[in-house]
Amino acid sequence: MTSPADATTEVAVSQESVAMVTGAGRGIGAATAERLAAEGMAVIVVDRTEQDTRATVAAIRAAGGRARGIGCDVAVAQAVTAAVATAVEEFGRIDVLVNCAGINRDRLLLTMGDQEWDTVLDVNLGGTMRCSFAVGRHMRRQGHGRIINFSSVAARGNAGQTNYATAKGAIAGFTRTLAAELGPHGVTVNAIAPGFVATPMVDELAARLGGDRDRVLSEAAKSAAVGRIGTPEEIAATVVFVARPESGYLTGETVHVDGGRP
């Protein structure tokens, strides 16, 4: 007889498999959604508004994939519950959840207001919790699933990002604990911690610093052993690896993809 834990090794990334990716309107989330679709999965593209999901959905469909865009503010519990209910009703299941939605409000702690602290924690950490709770219940009933959270190398500490670093650091503990809780039900839970990656968030960072984007990227590249920054596609490839059936014995871990940053 096959146990729920063994069932994780039998879940193929197939046309019938379904992934939900939050924060998928741009950057790493969009690259992840497109790559999972290229692997043959139907993808639920989630971002703050449905309008924000359209470019990613169009790219997936243009490549012959199946996608559905859903607007959802992951900081609002009712919105998350409704989005997951819509996804399950339409697709019948969710095999992979990628919690990629995230924001930053960078500021030194002594000049940071409560709202800047609360908003970052509520989206990055709270959103991960809410989506994992809503989708995890379905995965437990299915007897299999993959939950992939997004941490960051900023969790090691980064001046001007106490709120962001705190949220991303907490995700490691959340991931480890949820893995222990859902493991007996055939669900693995892991996190990915990217280093410096060229995304729209980098453009926003450069603007806040009052600097040139290329200069910011050049400076960031110097801190990596490989001498360059990462791409969204490289992070997406790591998500696919963690989502594969062959990764069924990997759970509770935070995988750093940072180009060898010290």
Per-residue pLDDT tens digits for 166-181: 999 999 999 999 999 9
Known catalytic residues are: 164
**CATH number of the domain that residue 105 is part of:** 3.40.50.720
Using an 8 Å Cβ cutoff, are 97 and 145 in contact? yes
Using an 8 Å Cβ cutoff, are 165 and 155 in contact? yes
Q: Indicate the range of 54-68, 96-110, 128-142, 167-181 predicted with least confidence.
A: 96-110
Nearest CA to 132 out of 167, 174, 172 is that of: 174
Q: Is 70 exceeded by the pLDDT of residue 205?
A: no
Domain containing residue 202: 197-229
pLDDT, averaged across the chain: 89
Confidence of residue 211 (pLDDT cuts 50, 70, 90): low
Tens digits of residue pLDDT in 10-43: 343 444 799 999 999 999 999 999 999 999 999 9
Q: How far apart are CA 120 and CA 100, in angstroms?
A: 13
Residues 222 and 95 in one domain: no
Q: Count of residues for the chain?
A: 262
Residue 103 lies in a domain: yes
Residue 262 lies in a domain: no
Total domain count for the chain?
2
Percent of the chain with pLDDT over 90: 69
Q: Residue 197: phi, psi to the nearest 5?
A: -125, 140
Residues 184 and 208 in one domain: no
Residues 154 and 219 in one domain: no
Residues 69 and 132 in one domain: yes
Tens digits of residue pLDDT in 129-146: 999 999 999 999 999 999
Residue 1 lies in a domain: no
Residues 91 and 214 in one domain: no
